[in-house]
């Protein structure tokens, strides 16, 4: 299976996506099948999370934090003209390539590049109609820096659709996946002992952002907020018995605990 070569205008400092064939050769059929199932499952929820914030139909789309390519496939399904996914660490292209071919999108102009958004901004000014990001901004340490880097990538009329889930003080904010709010009531040494495989990501890759922090970052960079939505934590009914243990370790607002995700549609004055 040969994937279409990306348009020359996508050639920049980023690592070229031709490594997909090497990835395919090094993966077993079970590995690829498992990752394809993961992508399919993740894509199913994107109509609810992202579509109200930005419709890819007929647009040149940039996916910030593409991972295995969930949002790339979703954008293709939704009729995007072209899709470029970027990420700091792309593990493999093979599962996405197979899914795109199986679903009849083999001729869609798409690619995934391993690169820093700040480098991309130097090479691709005014290139995209829509920037989408799903489940990434809760991991971004420099919110304002990234928002400012994404800003010049949009064309006039362009928009960003951002969905951040599992905010720090929510029940799943520690991204540990075992108990409600365990990252707030467990001691750090207990977390390290019980989740050794998650410890590095837990300590380095979560920015402890609240909805207020994100809104303040948007305000600081001068974004125009066209939509701003919050979703209440579905596990709130379990919070009351844990509050004593949580407050024994840290100060926390029940308001922050009650918000598990934020979604927004934004642009800047020059994009109107």
Query: pLDDT for 16-41, tens place per residue?
Result: 333 444 445 578 899 999 999 999 99
Return the structure tokens found at 198: 């998650």
Which single residue is written with the structure tokens 């001691």?
Answer: 187
2, pLDDT greater than 80: no
How confident is the model over 205-227, as a mean pLDDT? 98
101, pLDDT greater than 70: yes
How many contiguous H segments (helices) and E segments (strands) does the chain have? Answer: 13, 7
**Mean pLDDT over the full length of the chain:** 90
Q: What are phi and psi of 54, to 5 degrees?
A: -175, 125
Q: What are phi and psi of 262, to 5 degrees?
A: -130, 145
Question: Mind listing the pLDDT tens digit for each residue in 163-182?
Answer: 999 999 999 999 999 999 99
Beta strands in the chain (DSSP E): 60-64, 82-87, 109-114, 128-134, 154-165, 224-232, 259-267
- The pTM of this model reads 0.90
CA gap 210, 252 in Å, rounded: 11
244, pLDDT greater than 90: yes
Q: Looking at residue 123, what is its pLDDT? A: 82
Those residues with Cβ within 8 angstroms of residue 189's Cβ, 6 or more apart along the chain or in another chain = none
């Amino acid at each position: 299976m040969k994937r279409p070569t990306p348009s020359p205008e996508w050639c920049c400092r980023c690592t070229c996506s031709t490594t997909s064939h090497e990835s395919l050769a090094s993966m077993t059929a079970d590995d690829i099948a498992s990752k394809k199932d993961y992508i399919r499952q993740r894509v199913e929820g994107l109509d609810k999370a992202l579509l109200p914030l930005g419709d890819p139909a007929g647009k040149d789309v940039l996916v910030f934090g593409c991972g295995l390519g969930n949002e790339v496939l979703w954008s293709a399904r939704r009729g995007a003209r072209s899709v470029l996914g970027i990420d700091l660490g792309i593990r493999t292209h093979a599962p996405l390539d197979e899914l795109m071919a199986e679903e009849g999108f083999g001729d869609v102009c798409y690619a995934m590049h391993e690169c820093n958004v700040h480098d991309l901004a130097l090479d691709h000014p005014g290139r995209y109609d829509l920037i989408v990001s799903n489940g990434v901004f809760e991991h971004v340490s420099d919110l304002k820096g990234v928002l400012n880097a994404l800003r010049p990538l949009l064309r006039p009329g362009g928009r960003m659709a951002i969905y951040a889930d599992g905010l720090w003080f929510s029940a799943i904010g520690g991204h540990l996946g075992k108990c409600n709010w365990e990252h707030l009531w467990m001691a750090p040494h207990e977390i390290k002992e019980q989740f050794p495989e998650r410890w590095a990501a837990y300590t380095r890759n979560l920015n402890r952002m609240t909805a207020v922090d994100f809104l303040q970052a948007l305000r600081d960079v001068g974004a125009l907020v066209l939509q701003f939505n919050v979703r209440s934590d579905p596990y709130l009914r379990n919070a009351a018995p844990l509050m004593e243990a949580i407050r024994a370790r840290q100060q926390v607002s029940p308001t922050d605990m009650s918000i598990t995700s934020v979604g927004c549609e934004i642009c800047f004055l020059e994009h109107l």
